[in-house]
Structure 1
Amino acid sequence: MVVGDIATGTDVLVVGAGPGGYVAAIRAAQLDLDVTLVEKDAFGGTCLNHGCIPSKALISATDLAQRVREGEHMGIHADPAIDMAGMVAWKDQVVDQLTSGVEKLCKGNGVTLMEGRAEFADEHTARIAHGGEGQGSESVEFEHAIVATGSRPIELPGFEFDGEHVLSSKEALAMDRVPSSLVVVGAGYIGMELATVFAKAGSDVTVVEALDQALPGYEADVTRVVRKRAEELGIDFHFGQAAAEWTESDDGITVVTETEEGSRSEFDAEKALVAVGRQPVTDALGLDAAGVETDGNGFVPTDDRARTDQEHIFAIGDVAGEPMLAHTAMAEGHVAAEVIAGEPAALDHQAIPAAVFTDPEIGTVGMTEAEAEDAGFEPLVGTFPLRASGRALTMDETDGFVRIVADADSEFVLGAQIVAPEASELVAEVGLAIEMGATLEDVVGTIHTHPTLSEAVMEAAANARGEAVHTLNR
């Protein structure tokens, strides 16, 4: 403790009030622990303020405009004008409602909220520096600590974010007008989601990606559907081209890319969005003073109970590495709180879903066919195309499919890959099936409402068994 500091004590100190941190704090308080939650920026973290929620709000808004714009064959004739400032103001209202809700939930559960930047002083003490002139700092002594400081966008060398020419996803989500043209560097999930948003909003969008496909890590037939739709929206893709440098131009910015062979190309736009991944925020925490080690990339290694190499200090969410997903952070927050309270909790990553909110959406969970083979299973695969779904036809959204992977011997469900409208919702059924050890017969035997998209999950399971009615069986 520093002389002059105010000193307080707590059972559990949670550093970072994003999805992992606030969930961990609330759950620990529900388990009768004294909890202090520290946040240096905004409660709700990146997800609620600058990531998941604002991006999905803009995705929903621009989807609505595009649906109306493309409705002529359905008897709808309109060309909606997009007021980006109004759209962003609505998005901000959504964000404010959720972030204020987080604060109320924390206070309602007895969590002590503290604003400031936390830095570990030793294995059981952290100093909290409060923002603002004359605010000072204080020391918090803790029995247990949970590190939940999240991640930030990676800056490419030479492409540092300036908020004017080179934007991060945070800055892109706050623009109050639609840029006439946009170069998106990176075709991962953030780049693809925001490329779609701005294409639907009216920007001329170009995507450059150093690898040879969009959404690397997903199977080719999954990404093919999304890329085809993106190209229909006017998005121009250039693969195998890494961003090398940029210069200011009369119209905004010129991005120069380079291939492995050394050939260079130039792309002109009003602005550039760099979305090449995220890195953990662990560099200013003083983890060394607490005896907590990080790996070469700044991530904090943990065990299946979210514990670091110091058993009383936990790490959850993006700082603990892949999968860097908000719902993973929430699940890890539950586990960390319950382990601290002496409950028999542990992490199980086999059924963590992932979603990409492109057009159409992607939802995956569990194993692919190739992963099942590598794990020693004989995979049994069933597929149902969206063009055979009555509900998809009535929605005028028939691009995509549902694929279920099971073990041929036991028919236990192992995974699914879904490309469809509302895939992020549909994948939950398969996640539950994996979690509870359900079989294909269980899924097929569950009566699904008609007409719904969820019937496609049932039909894919039936197809794997050679029993599908609304598509030809293999």
Structure 2
Amino acid sequence: MSTYDVTVIGSGPGGYVAAIRCAQLGLKTAIIEKYNTLGGTCLNVGCIPSKALLDSSHHYHDAIHHFEKHGIDAKEVKINFKQMIDRKGEVVAQTSGGINYLMDKNNIDVYTGLGSFKDATHINITSNDEVNTIESKHTIIATGSKPSSLPFIKIDKKRIITSTEALSLSEIPKHMIVIGGGVIGLELGQVYSRLGAEVSVIEYMPTIIPTMDSMLSKELQKSLKKQGMKFYTSHKVNGVSVNGNEVTVTADDKKGNPVEFKGDYCLVSVGRKPYTDGLGLENVGVKVTERGQIETDAHLKTNISNIYAIGDVIKGAMLAHKAEEEGSMVAEIIAGQKPHIDYNLIPGVVYTWPEVASVGKTEEQLKEEGVKYKTGSFPMRALGRARASMDIDGQVKVLAHAETDEILGMHMIGARAADMIAEAVIAMEFRASSEDVARSSHAHPTYTEAIKEACLAVDGRAIHS
């Protein structure tokens, strides 16, 4: 029987990062993955393939809408949808291969099969009806999440689909109905909208991306509507049915009146739920909440002293980079170090175009908490760089403490916001004031000048607006 210091169950961003960090710290490490490829949801059916399709569809959208303005005459631009899907697969395969390389480089033993607890220190690995048992001093659960649905919706994976199926369709929908105006629904909705599909987004809440700052919701919806997407907020879906190739979605509008939507595909994107099936948690007594999340303490330890859990299976935002931070933290805790994570400084991103990014407190949260604050904002259209690239939608908003001027939150929508948010995270990690950022030189012309200008605007000093 093989024996390890640490075994990680699940090879997504949290799991494989935890395994690498454990190995770096001198711990004999194994990782168990039930599927044949490493990388979990993020790499195989989430972050990476969706970004590949977002980029491909963005190129096409630019070619038919913007190239002429740039002086590029590209006649008869056509979509080779199969090639687009094939390229996505190539990106996934290359990235997965990279994780295999990292496992080899760090001398991590990889097991393929379903990992389940026999007891607190022994794990069964089932593959092709064969069971292999290993012994592990510590175990990190990193099994991630899977798409949620609504009780009355039957996902047939053909016409009523989740994000997994939406990444590998054989045709471009004529009319895709998206249930859920969150990150996943908006990203995939924009992919198919760019490719020519009619896209209708039905959201239960009054706003899309409802957990983010209201400014971002308003700006994003305005921009996506200009691109042709339709939105039905404050709508409660109560039925989804299929008749041949036609999907019918019934809902009640904000006034309670019944409405009906008909399309050829329905994407159900109402969130994700922790995935712990088959782990055998009951065999060791690991506690799970009513929402299916594994209970952990501040050090991400479960109620069983040698078992930890990270990522989507525990509380908090379901974000790949959150899982990565937690994976590193647990590895270092097991090794006797004292790391920490400031969850307030885990950024959230929506990879539509314009991109949306946010970190820290929203304006709504500060009001609710009674924190005195001041705000500054700056429109992207006032930037020379934005005008040069024709990406003028969006703005940056900074929230700073009214007395200390410490930055409490930063929210941005615009070109490359997903990359720009790192500046906000670093500034807030070191408890910078808006004055600190305002007095830091930013290269011209760049999109990040909007951050400097928004910080200047906190005290009414913006130069270019």
2:310 matched to 1:313?
A: no
Q: Equivalent residues in 2 for 1:440-459 (5 A)?
A: 440-459=434-453
Aligned to 2:62: 67
Q: How far has the Cα of 1:350 moved from its partner? A: 2.2
Looking at structure 1, the residues matched to 203 and 101 of structure 2 have their Cα atoms a distance apart, in angstroms, of 42
Looking at structure 2, the residues matched to 248 and 295 of structure 1 have their Cα atoms a distance apart, in angstroms, of 34
5+ residue gaps, structure 2, are none
Give 2:65's aligned amino acid: E
Looking at structure 2, the residues matched to 400 and 261 of structure 1 have their Cα atoms a distance apart, in angstroms, of 31
Deviations 1:233-290 (A, max 9, x none): 2222222323322333354222222357653222111111111010000132111222
2:85 matched to 1:88?
A: yes
Which range moves more in the overlay, 105-114 or 156-165? 156-165
2:124 matched to 1:127?
A: yes
| TM-score in terms of structure 1 length | 0.94
Shift in CA distance, 250/123, structure 1 to aligned 2, threshold 3 Å:
closer
SS in 2 for 1:300: coil
Q: How far has the Cα of 1:77 moved from its partner? A: 4.1
Shift in CA distance, 385/87, structure 1 to aligned 2, threshold 3 Å:
same
Looking at structure 1, the residues matched to 38 and 302 of structure 2 have their Cα atoms a distance apart, in angstroms, of 24
Aligned to 1:347: 341
Q: 1:57 aligns with which of 27, 52, 55?
A: 52
Aligned to 1:3: none
Looking at structure 1, the residues matched to 34 and 244 of structure 2 have their Cα atoms a distance apart, in angstroms, of 39
Looking at structure 1, the residues matched to 322 and 329 of structure 2 have their Cα atoms a distance apart, in angstroms, of 11
Quote the RMSD (CA, aligned, Å).
Answer: 1.6
Q: 2:178 aligns with which of 178, 184, 196?
A: 184
SS in 2 for 1:457: helix
Aligned to 2:323: 329
Q: Is the 8 A contact 1:304 1:347 kept in 2?
A: no
Deviations 1:286-332 (A, max 9, x none): 11222210100110122222111223111100001221100000000
Looking at structure 1, the residues matched to 151 and 344 of structure 2 have their Cα atoms a distance apart, in angstroms, of 36
Q: Is the 8 A contact 1:83 1:177 kept in 2?
A: no
% identity of equivalent residues = 37
Shift in CA distance, 378/211, structure 1 to aligned 2, threshold 3 Å:
closer
Give 2:257's aligned amino acid: S
Shift in CA distance, 216/373, structure 1 to aligned 2, threshold 3 Å:
closer
Looking at structure 2, the residues matched to 420 and 261 of structure 1 have their Cα atoms a distance apart, in angstroms, of 33
SS in 1 for 2:2: strand
Looking at structure 1, the residues matched to 122 and 171 of structure 2 have their Cα atoms a distance apart, in angstroms, of 46
Q: 1:150 aligns with which of 144, 151, 161?
A: 144
Shift in CA distance, 414/220, structure 1 to aligned 2, threshold 3 Å:
closer
Deviations 1:197-242 (A, max 9, x none): 1000111111112222211112332111211222222222222323
Which range moves more in the overlay, 176-185 or 99-108? 176-185
Looking at structure 2, the residues matched to 375 and 273 of structure 1 have their Cα atoms a distance apart, in angstroms, of 36
Deviations 1:396-428 (A, max 9, x none): 111111111112222222210001111111111
Q: Is the 8 A contact 1:365 1:430 kept in 2?
A: yes
Looking at structure 2, the residues matched to 200 and 260 of structure 1 have their Cα atoms a distance apart, in angstroms, of 28
Looking at structure 2, the residues matched to 377 and 214 of structure 1 have their Cα atoms a distance apart, in angstroms, of 25
Q: Is the 8 A contact 1:403 1:418 kept in 2?
A: yes
Shift in CA distance, 347/77, structure 1 to aligned 2, threshold 3 Å:
same
Looking at structure 2, the residues matched to 262 and 456 of structure 1 have their Cα atoms a distance apart, in angstroms, of 42
Aligned to 2:403: 409
Q: 1:36 aligns with which of 11, 30, 38?
A: 30
Q: 2:375 aligns with which of 381, 384, 387?
A: 381
**Matched positions, count:** 462
Q: How far has the Cα of 1:181 moved from its partner? A: 1.6
Looking at structure 2, the residues matched to 52 and 378 of structure 1 have their Cα atoms a distance apart, in angstroms, of 37
Q: Equivalent residues in 2 for 1:7-406 (5 A)?
A: 7-41=1-35, 42-71=37-66, 72-78=68-74, 80-130=77-127, 132=128, 136-249=130-243, 251-259=245-253, 263-375=257-369, 377-406=371-400
Give 1:128's aligned amino acid: I
Q: How far has the Cα of 1:376 moved from its partner? A: 5.4
SS in 2 for 1:247: strand
Looking at structure 1, the residues matched to 222 and 256 of structure 2 have their Cα atoms a distance apart, in angstroms, of 28
Aligned to 1:463: 457
Q: Is the 8 A contact 2:372 2:401 kept in 1?
A: yes
Looking at structure 2, the residues matched to 364 and 92 of structure 1 have their Cα atoms a distance apart, in angstroms, of 30
Q: How far has the Cα of 1:379 moved from its partner? A: 1.1
Q: Is the 8 A contact 1:124 1:290 kept in 2?
A: no
Q: How far has the Cα of 1:359 moved from its partner? A: 2.2
Q: Is the 8 A contact 1:244 1:258 kept in 2?
A: yes
Looking at structure 1, the residues matched to 204 and 17 of structure 2 have their Cα atoms a distance apart, in angstroms, of 36
Looking at structure 2, the residues matched to 25 and 55 of structure 1 have their Cα atoms a distance apart, in angstroms, of 25
Q: Is the 8 A contact 1:304 1:346 kept in 2?
A: no
Give 1:308's aligned amino acid: T
SS in 1 for 2:200: strand
| TM-score in terms of structure 2 length | 0.96
Deviations 1:440-461 (A, max 9, x none): 2221222111100011111111
Q: How far has the Cα of 1:468 moved from its partner? A: 1.8
5+ residue gaps, structure 1, are 1-6
SS in 2 for 1:397: coil
